[in-house]
Structure 1
């Protein structure tokens, strides 16, 4: 097919003035160069007249600012996109060897390319250049992001359709069956992998409390899935590090179902414990790479001393008190402020006693005495206790701001009364993984549990988060901070001291309403207890604070580092060079280095892609110029489990929905024939408008200089004036 291009001038600006000036220039040259003294040869006279005319015309063009507008039109073939899933799971299907599939796809590309412009890519979490000799090594699969990137790559072209070769095992990003609903062109899906015949068992999830106490009972919940082994049995083993703690015989579920095994543990040693569960392999199983999962538990040595103060009687106070007093690992002291500034309890709470966590609900109030406030401030300063403020209508914000040095935000209010508005809570990206708000090892499940909560009531007070604070929850207005919406749940770590603020009132209704409609999840109570556990752990004060978003990662996950460097007054410092030196226990001689950069008011962040399992140690060095500001050390782990092997096989329901949503077709790979897909043929014309500013062309200036230089040389040699 012969493609054609065209070009057309659509307009000229400054042409009238340019023509008039050019005519005047011609007249001037003729008049002044009629006679030349002393007389010169013919070619000199011609050169002088011509060069001066050209110079004057160029000057006329520049004065008139002459510009030409034109349109180009090129005939192009429509685009056919081919995306090939290159994640690890794609190399597990014996009936479809990955290298053979790439060769077939290369032939398809050549065939389709006779009438279309074919753009072929490999993908896992993002698009990569197509290479028929590539291997399937991607550790995660993000189908939605790959489709989005292809759309972005072809935004200036007309796409006929997209072909995707995948098993549909998306384990990162937006669900493709939802993302594809608004996709702009047809997607033809070729389903790769076995469907019914595959035999496999695996651990789908492991969940336990991230923080526990010595001698307390720890509940470990284990999700087990299987395909083709329903009703069979195998051993489930649980390890603490390398020590085998429990062995249990489990019955495997039927296809499409999950079994949950619950194991109770008591850990008697303080510190972090790595809990691993493993299903013993069965004969005929496709792979055992999904038979083991890990999680971590931080075991503390003593119970938590908690002081709960409320500025007035409230349902939130009753809910919090009942929640905490039933916890065996909490020693609770609770009191409510009376109208006269005293306490309703027969004995006033001991405000000078050392506590791990202080919880204020609408406290301090108008009735709170300055002496009590000063005692509490002195207590926090001397003991490094954590402060947890929960919004309540009885609070006096001016008095609360006396505790501003211990809180993650400042509150600004010039009104005596409190005005509340109903808002829907939204979990931030950090909140999906933070010990305070995490509900599941799966971020999507955590988000779903939070989305199920009813709206809360948030004060109209202005909230100014500090630079070292982290926002876990916000409302859905999306108009106040980087995560979107007004900050509702904030936490902070500074100088070894932790704090939290919950700016929603009436939280007792979260549990009550959900119980009433039979949808009780325990999300709110669990969040508060996890938060108090987190607040009760006190790290040694340090000028450098470095955290990873989690302690345990799957292969292919990004490890996110967050750091704050403080000056001598514990204020965040900007323009600091922070380097991370990372080593793996199995190969300590090999070191990986990268910098984390400032992203907001003295807060720094960076990422590392976890490629292989093992225990990683990091040392963070902070410098300003040649001055070393200190170091910080920590560690994280990457488990052997890869999401790519959660359950092998073709996820046919996802693939069918992608095709259906976009107006494409679905075909299993074993039935696929290159000629079976009908593509929209033909060409289209790509039009583009442009403007050429003649007056601003550097080449004209070069011609001008050359002509003036030539004229000057001739005049010098000929003795001309």
Structure 2
């Protein structure tokens, strides 16, 4: 009845004692009312005995704490999740009628499968759930395709998902490859490929390699990879532009191998953010010229950076990090390594080095040997002068002293024990493009996740809200939630923390394979740390620099008062300008001094913006920047269907790949899966029969009625 499978009544004390107590209370009640003064009739005596016994019985219930447990079984019906590519690449005219195929699938979906057995979503920059009419009238206007969002959204569902179906050309234009994440869900993925897998006659700028942070008046190499199909031995011009001004042009002959690298030397005259564009001239007969251009932005830094390494004690970490830093001629590297209280291995003036440092590397610092006087000077530089720092928990670090820097750290520290555990990095899926992680491997993230173990202290680390988690740890290939690499940017303050010791092992392993992972990580960390916001109270940025046509531009703002406390009630206005046309948007507060807003337009080009924050009509500060919309339509860059990705995704998750001409075979397969995919779920509810206030009220009422009747009868 009511779906109840099982009913249990339990007590906190042995039920045999309850039975014994009931018998004793029953005998006691009979004994009390065996003889009464004055004598009362039998009916009244029976009533008084009943009142007393019931009250004592309920009192026993309170003492023995009875618990009623009800177990109910419910059936969770299976549901198929359908994801339909709604990006602009579906409109590519390659002779396969992509748009018609997707629309045919959407129309057949509701006819072949019961509507309560599937949920349909559209795929683009985000995953959205439109109405049934919208599904059958897709617009294909999304400016990017992010497959990672499919599996992050599925992982958050509390439903019996029997399968995932994706109909797409398989071209990822945003986010990372989700195959590994999809495998962990243990849900079969069925893919339907739309588009042409053959290679058309085309010229493409495949990739541009560059350093995101470089220095003014210092030459750097920008390497461009150009591929061609069907144009071997033909001549084209490849040009590089800075802010739409031609810097250099090279005439090249397209290789017969189909791929070649072209190098440009770039020497910026001044600091600041620079927009660069590499353009390959087109040839007659190209399938598309949308992929003949690459736009990117480079941050040009000013003078050389003074770096001071502070070592709590001599360690291999200090030696390896110092060696990596000294390879860059744009760094001035000094070190102070403690070996006794107030004493350093280096015979230099510590105060001079402290005063001249732009960035600190705290390597196992502070330690037991660190004097309070010297440590206070370092803390003052970081806390009050906003010096950026890199932290490594190398040997000898004193965590109690480190906690004195708690306000400036990227993480909160809760000391548990003095033990260490072996851990390896596992990179967050949203960090695969982070410049700190890039190296010369074909798969930079895979190299990171196969580094040798380092030692992490048995300490509870938790991210601060303003920090960015770059890498978590894994132990014996089992991922954990413990952070390993964290960066923090708050106002004009920046820091990076590697929460482990013996990171020099990363250098040894990668060096034997000619990988620059360790050196690039250390050097990129310096460049990132050196781009602090110069005491700006108002920071306004876009989520990225290059947007597709029609894609929302996301603005993120941070507002602080004169003492750099977050201001959450400011009015933040942003003016966006393109070719003399001006638009204004208001950023909305999301708390803790953070603001967000969006801007959308259908006009391609370079855009500049300026923002201003006010509080109580008092101007707090301004900021400005730039971004680009639609100069390169990333959805049109790769016109070839990515069969390899779609097939791999299906095979590795236990699903199946379907061609665009035979997707009808998918529907009966989904029906068979649903027939055997129902799940039972047991819901258990516990009712404390003794803890309700009504029970005590009834006990008191019963004793009160008994007392009232006894008094009315003239009994003692």
TM-score of the superposed pair, with normalisation by structure 2? 0.70
Contact 1:207 1:440 in 2 (8 A): no
**2:197 corresponds to which of 175, 195, 198:** 195
Residues 1:653 and 1:610: Cα distance change in structure 2 (over 3 Å)? farther
Q: Deviations over 1:377-415 (max 9, x none)?
A: 555577643333332223334444555565445656598
Which residue of the partner structure matches residue 510 of structure 2?
A: 514
Which residue of the partner structure matches residue 358 of structure 2?
A: 356
The count of corresponding residues between Structure 1 and Structure 2 is 605
Deviation at 1:215, TM superposition (A): 1.9
Which residue of the partner structure matches residue 422 of structure 2?
A: 422
Which residue of the partner structure matches residue 287 of structure 1?
A: 288
Which residue of the partner structure matches residue 604 of structure 1?
A: 594
Contact 1:224 1:253 in 2 (8 A): no
Deviation at 1:287, TM superposition (A): 1.3
Please show how residues 105-504 of structure 1 align to structure 2 within 5 Å: 105=105, 108=108, 112=112, 122-124=122-124, 125-127=126-128, 128-129=130-131, 130=134, 132-143=136-147, 145=149, 165-173=167-175, 175=177, 189-196=191-198, 198-230=200-232, 232-252=234-254, 258-339=259-340, 341-349=342-350, 350-351=352-353, 353-377=355-379, 384-404=386-406, 406-409=408-411, 411=413, 419-428=419-428, 431-432=431-432, 434-435=434-435, 437-439=436-438, 447-461=445-459, 463=461, 466-476=464-474, 484-486=481-483, 488-494=485-491, 496-504=492-500
The separation in 2 between residues aligned to 1:259 and 1:487, in whole angstroms, is 38
Contact 1:207 1:441 in 2 (8 A): no
Deviation at 1:559, TM superposition (A): 5.7
2:631 corresponds to 1:638: no
Residues 1:358 and 1:81: Cα distance change in structure 2 (over 3 Å)? closer
The separation in 1 between residues aligned to 2:644 and 2:74, in whole angstroms, is 46
The separation in 1 between residues aligned to 2:120 and 2:80, in whole angstroms, is 8
Deviation at 1:604, TM superposition (A): 3.1
Equivalent position SS for 1:320: helix
Contact 1:351 1:372 in 2 (8 A): no
Contact 1:233 1:249 in 2 (8 A): yes
Contact 1:214 1:299 in 2 (8 A): yes
Which residue of the partner structure matches residue 30 of structure 1?
A: none
Range moving further from structure 2, 603-612 or 503-512: 603-612
Q: Deviations over 1:608-660 (max 9, x none)?
A: 48776444445556577x56573442324135223323321222223334554
Contact 2:305 2:330 in 1 (8 A): yes
Which residue of the partner structure matches residue 591 of structure 1?
A: 584
Residues 1:587 and 1:106: Cα distance change in structure 2 (over 3 Å)? farther
Which residue of the partner structure matches residue 524 of structure 1?
A: 518
Contact 2:83 2:120 in 1 (8 A): yes
Which residue of the partner structure matches residue 688 of structure 2?
A: none
Equivalent position SS for 2:640: coil
Equivalent position SS for 2:339: coil
Equivalent position SS for 2:340: coil
Deviation at 1:174, TM superposition (A): 5.8
2:647 corresponds to 1:656: yes
The separation in 2 between residues aligned to 1:270 and 1:240, in whole angstroms, is 13
Residues 1:668 and 1:426: Cα distance change in structure 2 (over 3 Å)? closer
Q: RMSD between aligned alpha carbons?
A: 4.7
The separation in 1 between residues aligned to 2:486 and 2:579, in whole angstroms, is 40
Contact 1:556 1:609 in 2 (8 A): no
Please show how residues 552-591 of structure 1 align to structure 2 within 5 Å: 552-553=546-547, 562-572=556-566, 576=569, 579=572, 581=574, 583-586=576-579, 588-591=581-584
Equivalent position SS for 2:279: strand
Which residue of the partner structure matches residue 534 of structure 2?
A: 540
Deviation at 1:246, TM superposition (A): 2.0
Q: Deviations over 1:693-717 (max 9, x none)?
A: xxxxxxxxxxxxxxxxxxxxxxxxx
Contact 1:473 1:490 in 2 (8 A): no
2:85 corresponds to 1:91: no
Equivalent position SS for 1:501: strand
Residues 1:535 and 1:71: Cα distance change in structure 2 (over 3 Å)? closer
The separation in 1 between residues aligned to 2:610 and 2:518, in whole angstroms, is 36
Contact 1:341 1:369 in 2 (8 A): yes
Deviation at 1:328, TM superposition (A): 1.0
Deviation at 1:672, TM superposition (A): 4.2
The separation in 2 between residues aligned to 1:372 and 1:103, in whole angstroms, is 70
Which residue of the partner structure matches residue 41 of structure 1?
A: none
Contact 2:113 2:667 in 1 (8 A): no
The separation in 1 between residues aligned to 2:158 and 2:555, in whole angstroms, is 34
The separation in 2 between residues aligned to 1:82 and 1:406, in whole angstroms, is 46
Deviation at 1:238, TM superposition (A): 1.0
Residues 1:419 and 1:95: Cα distance change in structure 2 (over 3 Å)? same
Deviation at 1:277, TM superposition (A): 0.8
Q: Deviations over 1:522-545 (max 9, x none)?
A: 222212111212223343323344
Residues 1:240 and 1:118: Cα distance change in structure 2 (over 3 Å)? same
Q: Deviations over 1:218-270 (max 9, x none)?
A: 12232333344455442221111111112223454678x75443332211222
Contact 2:416 2:458 in 1 (8 A): no
Contact 2:272 2:300 in 1 (8 A): yes
Deviation at 1:83, TM superposition (A): 5.4
The separation in 1 between residues aligned to 2:164 and 2:380, in whole angstroms, is 66
The separation in 1 between residues aligned to 2:356 and 2:548, in whole angstroms, is 40
Contact 2:205 2:226 in 1 (8 A): yes
The separation in 1 between residues aligned to 2:110 and 2:419, in whole angstroms, is 67
Please show how residues 44-123 of structure 1 align to structure 2 within 5 Å: 84-97=84-97, 100-101=100-101, 104-105=104-105, 108=108, 112=112, 122-123=122-123
TM-score of the superposed pair, with normalisation by structure 1? 0.70
In structure 1, the gaps of 5 or more residues are 1-7, 12-69, 691-721
Residues 1:475 and 1:582: Cα distance change in structure 2 (over 3 Å)? farther
